[in-house]
Structure 1
Amino acid sequence: MKNRISLIASLALLLGSFYAQGQAPERYSLQQSIDYALQNRASLKATRNEENIARARVGEIRAAGLPQINGSLDVGDNFIQQQSFLPAEFFQDPNNPNAPEPGTFVPVTFTPAYTANATVTASQMLFDGAYLIGLKAANTYKELSRKTTQQSEIEVAEQVSKAYYGVLVNRERMELLEQNLVRLDTLLTQTAIMFENGVAEKLDVDRLRVQLNNLKVEKQKTVRLMELSENLLKFQMGVEQAQLIELTDELEEVEVDMSKLAPRNFNYSDRIEYSILETQRDLAELDLRNRKAGYLPKLFLNSRYGYLAAGNEFGQVSNLNNWLEFGYVGGQLQVPIFDGLRKHYQIQQAKLALENTKFGFETLRQSIDLELEQASAELTNALDMLDAQRENLELAAEIARVAKIKFQEGVGSNLEVVNAETDLREAQTNYYAAMYDALIAKVNLEKATGTLQAK
């Protein structure tokens, strides 16, 4: 009870200093930490931007199949008017002695000094096999981008979970160190009194003082480790390092689902990596179809409408009464005939890319199987080690308790107490290391089975 009061008092002083600075700690459970990270991690924001880019890309491709309408206005000064040649026979005049001789050519200016043209053009794609397949590919690409975002979210959930568990374990270690300090300080005080009464030796007091000093140094190291683990958690969450955080979950509340050691009805598609590969295969198939569609003809509907004007004086162009109306509507059929075998080689490349994608499924399945076996074995070993270290901790605590009683009753040595305290701290360190390993193995197995999802 005294140990708990001391720890609460220390925390109260620490929190008091925080509030005195005008900064209250933010409280987070594990799920709240993950949710915060999903909203605030800069890397995830960039990934979501890529997803939005993919959506915009779909709209860009779809726009190619909609009517394309453009308007233009062209007004120019032909400051050097282009001339053409006409045969001299066009200018033969028997009454004109200066008429050009037959067989020669006479330069003639046909281009007006000023021209103007106002036109609206419209084009509508009627059929393009590659465009139709491109629309499907664009939607599939959007789905791939969404799954890539989901993969990034799962990775963030994994990183935050591991960092969160690290803080929980270090927090428990801090609490235990506080209890050890209180217990050892009490024992040192009692031994000093025994020394003053001639029951204990000064060597006994010095040994305990050395132990107490070493424990204080260990506490300082643990405090720094605690700060580092909190800073890592803040980084994984996307929290500013200056922001104070407080974890609301308790270590004893964390459950390990043993049924995941041998998952039933495991589906490879539960793994986001497998689902992404399936989408990549679909894209490769669509790319192959798109290459083959290049042999199909394309049909377009085109139209033009506008006005034109010309004259050797600018006023003739600027006068709207001199503008002439024109219009055109027609169809255009483009039939590929020979492209130097370019599409043939493109199809070969697309076939090989699709084949490689299918090979990837076999490799990925083998990798997932191995990862499942490794993760299950790691968790099994970690839990076995945790049970052994828990038993060792209980035995070490009992040995330390008995050694203290024996020493106080004069039937045991101070050296036994010191050794027992050393063994107890080592057992505590091993226990929390095993607990951390078990928690990390738990997260790894959840990821391996595809059950670690960012909610």
Structure 2
Amino acid sequence: MILKINKYVRFFLPVIGILILGSAKGQSSPGDSLSLNTIIQEVTVNHPAVKKAMEDLHVSDAKIGLAESNYLPNVDFASSYSRIGPISTITIPDMGSFSFVPHDNYSATVNVNQTIYDFGKTEKSVLFEKQGKELTLQSIEQVKQKLSQAVIANFYTLVYLQEALKIKDEQLKTLNEHLNYIKKKQETGSATQYEILTTEVRISTIENQKTDLETARQVQVCQLNSLLGKPESTKEVVKIEMSVSLPGMQNDALIASAMENRDEMKLASEKAKLAQLRYNLTSYQNKPIVSAFLSGGIKNGYTPYLYDPKANFVAGFGVKVPIFDGKRKMYNQVQAQSAIQTNDQETEIARRGIVNEVVEGEANVNASKKKVEQGELQLRQANQAYSLAKVRFDSGVITNLELLEGSTAVSESQLQLLKAKIDYTVSLYKLKSATGERLY
């Protein structure tokens, strides 16, 4: 009687593990440490790619300031000394010789130059740089979205590997207990060496599978540490989170949402505006410039006291009208117009790619959902088959190996269901991303 109870306990362990896994959906065990939201928030704030994009934003601000500087005057100070020789002199009888310029000439001036009107050239330049900043802002959002996608892929790969290792541990525990049980039966002549060898081969196979899973887990942990900026040797454990949902929308609504919210379409729109502003700026390239200038300071050389410094100034207006620029404006306009056409084609390419992603994402969600349903059915069937196998084993109809087959089928079904649920969760995130929903 005790032997029968021990048999039931040993072979019932996989079923207990399944029930524990099922109740853990959306929950975390005491050893869990990192949630998906925590990782995404940290990565989208501290990752070098985000910081680089933020620096690009500072560069955009500097470019705007540089363009606006054309509204301000240019002020400089100039000083000079020169010695002239020979100089012209005039001699008047009984009065001596006189010169009109000194040998030594000194001057110090402050010069101010101010553009009064450039027919909108500076205004167009400022608008162009401000639009460039909008493009940079949108690029930052795209960087964060792509990093979030990378985090999600890494996170759920780790979830799968962690849980798969637990399942393999349960399999090994069951197989080792079964091996001990068979060895005891062999001592009484109730089991053969074949049963022992078969069990040992299965243990070796599971151990190899566990080694592969552990290696893959270490690689994913290293990638997670890289995303978080932590030492590669840092040990990380992630929580089990599979409660993501997607609002029910028809295919057309999903595509419309993607066209409105995807970063690629927003970037294409910003690039189109930027290309048009570049063309407008090029059109103003040869506009006249009206400017004023003022210089004031001290210098010598004024008669009759040539060497005495005197205050002086000069003020005036100037007009600069380009007449011929070697066809630079024409060629710049050709390039600007070509950039507009190129951007239109890139927008269409992005649109088609997004449509494909949405359709593919929706199909993957539906397929993954069916796999989850099939996996749940398969697990129920495996449990039922295992329960029947225990009854048949207790009646002496089947051998230990056949009962072990049922236990293995339960574990494999459990692993397949786990993978199906994770694939379904990841496919939901991919569809959310495809429709332009923020993942961070």
Is 2:142 aligned against 1:124? no
Residues 402/191 of structure 1: CA separation in 2 closer, same or farther (3 Å cut): farther
Instruction: Please point out which of 170, 185, 189 is paired with 2:176.
Output: 185
Partner of residue 337, structure 1: 323
Q: For the residues of structure 2 that align with 1:214 and 1:354, how far apart are their CA atoms?
A: 61
Partner of residue 392, structure 1: 378
1:258 positional shift: 6.1
Q: For the residues of structure 2 that align with 1:26 and 1:423, how far apart are their CA atoms?
A: 28
Q: For the residues of structure 2 that align with 1:26 and 1:389, how far apart are their CA atoms?
A: 26
Partner of residue 17, structure 1: none
| Contact residue 244 and residue 425 of structure 2 kept, 8 A | no
1:53 positional shift: 0.8
Q: For the residues of structure 2 that align with 1:240 and 1:151, how far apart are their CA atoms?
A: 26
Q: How does 1:91-110 map to 2 (within 5 A)?
A: none
Q: How does 1:54-203 map to 2 (within 5 A)?
A: 54-74=60-80, 76=81, 78=83, 81=84, 112-128=102-118, 129-203=120-194
1:341 positional shift: 3.3
1:302 positional shift: 1.4
Q: For the residues of structure 2 that align with 1:409 and 1:150, how far apart are their CA atoms?
A: 65
Instruction: Please point out which of 200, 210, 223 is paired with 1:232.
Output: 223
- SS at 1:337 equivalent: coil
Is 2:383 aligned against 1:411? no
- SS at 1:154 equivalent: helix
Superposed CA deviations along residues 46-77 of structure 1, whole A, max 9, x for unmatched, are 12111111111111111121122112233x35
1:409 positional shift: 4.1
Partner of residue 234, structure 2: 243
1:158 positional shift: 0.6
Partner of residue 334, structure 2: 348
1:423 positional shift: 4.2
Q: For the residues of structure 2 that align with 1:280 and 1:30, how far apart are their CA atoms?
A: 33
Is 2:274 aligned against 1:283? yes
Superposed CA deviations along residues 389-430 of structure 1, whole A, max 9, x for unmatched, are 333334334434543553454210234235445544544444
- SS at 1:347 equivalent: helix
Residues 355/220 of structure 1: CA separation in 2 closer, same or farther (3 Å cut): closer
Q: How does 1:264-283 map to 2 (within 5 A)?
A: 265-266=256-257, 268-283=259-274
| Contact residue 299 and residue 309 of structure 2 kept, 8 A | yes
- SS at 2:248 equivalent: helix
1:166 positional shift: 1.0
| Contact residue 166 and residue 229 of structure 1 kept, 8 A | yes
Q: For the residues of structure 2 that align with 1:233 and 1:261, how far apart are their CA atoms?
A: 35
Superposed CA deviations along residues 54-103 of structure 1, whole A, max 9, x for unmatched, are 111111111121122112233x354xx455899xxx8899xxxxxxxxxx
Residues 369/193 of structure 1: CA separation in 2 closer, same or farther (3 Å cut): same
Q: How does 1:371-450 map to 2 (within 5 A)?
A: 371-407=357-393, 409-450=395-436
Residues 255/26 of structure 1: CA separation in 2 closer, same or farther (3 Å cut): closer
Residues 428/295 of structure 1: CA separation in 2 closer, same or farther (3 Å cut): same
Letter aligned with residue 108 of structure 2: A
Instruction: Please point out which of 245, 248, 254 is paired with 2:243.
Output: 254
Equivalent pairs, count: 407
Structure 1, unpaired ranges of 5+:
8-24, 94-108
| Contact residue 113 and residue 310 of structure 1 kept, 8 A | no
| Contact residue 372 and residue 420 of structure 2 kept, 8 A | yes
Letter aligned with residue 292 of structure 1: S
| Contact residue 389 and residue 434 of structure 1 kept, 8 A | yes
TM-score by length of 1: 0.79
Is 2:345 aligned against 1:359? yes
Q: For the residues of structure 2 that align with 1:92 and 1:117, how far apart are their CA atoms?
A: 30
| Contact residue 297 and residue 333 of structure 1 kept, 8 A | yes
Deviates more, 1:165-174 or 1:154-163: 165-174
1:187 positional shift: 2.4
Identity %: 19
Residues 362/220 of structure 1: CA separation in 2 closer, same or farther (3 Å cut): closer
Q: For the residues of structure 2 that align with 1:26 and 1:84, how far apart are their CA atoms?
A: 94
Partner of residue 43, structure 1: 49
- SS at 2:312 equivalent: strand
- SS at 2:142 equivalent: helix
1:188 positional shift: 2.5
- C-alpha RMSD over aligned residues: 3.3
TM-score by length of 2: 0.81
Residues 282/58 of structure 1: CA separation in 2 closer, same or farther (3 Å cut): same
- SS at 2:244 equivalent: coil
Partner of residue 437, structure 2: 451
Residues 354/173 of structure 1: CA separation in 2 closer, same or farther (3 Å cut): same
- SS at 2:33 equivalent: strand
Q: For the residues of structure 1 that align with 2:426 and 2:374, how far apart are their CA atoms?
A: 18
- SS at 2:257 equivalent: coil
Deviates more, 1:380-389 or 1:56-65: 380-389
